[in-house]
Amino acid sequence: MPRWVAVVLGVGSGAVLTLPALFLAFVSAGGGHGDYFFARLLFPYAMLVTRMTHDTIGLASLAMAVAQLPIEGGVAGVAWGGRGPWVVGAAITGVAVGAHVVAFWMCGSLRYL
């Protein structure tokens, strides 16, 4: 499969998953009275930005949340769509997943500071 096809499939998959993920994040927010678990789990980078905006979810956070999954899908497409060894795709994916997990952990840790 050509790399550009893998990238388009990755970005498209991320775009399709964004709406259900945003719905889960919205439900877990509970109108501002929830625990934000799914928001922190699915969109940790956007939730980290809220720490700089006095814990408000503004336009920047929302834009990051909408763009995050398509970007991550595109990165996966680049990683797995090439003709290189599968270990390269696995390594890039592992780093991306690790960064996501660390950001999620930071969201939980920074809540109490």
The per-residue pLDDT string of the chain (113 residues; one tens digit each, 9 = 90 and over) reads 788 898 999 999 999 999 999 999 999 988 778 888 999 999 999 999 888 888 888 898 999 999 999 999 998 888 888 777 788 888 888 899 999 999 999 988 876 54
What is the per-residue burial (b if ≥16 Cβ within 10 Å, else e) of 47-59?
bbbbeeeeeebee
Q: What is the token pair recorded at 108? A: 């939980």
Question: Quick count: other Cβ atoms within 10 Å of Cβ 36?
Answer: 21
Are the beta carbons of 73 and 11 closer than 8 angstroms?
yes
Instruction: Calculate the dihedral angle through the C-alpha atoms of 21, 24, 27, 28, rounding to the nearest 10 degrees.
Output: -110
Q: What is the pLDDT of residue 25?
A: 93
Angle in degrees, CA 89, 12, 87, rounded to 5: 5
Helix intervals (H) in 3-58: 3-29, 37-42, 44-49
- Predicted local confidence at residue 112, as pLDDT: 52
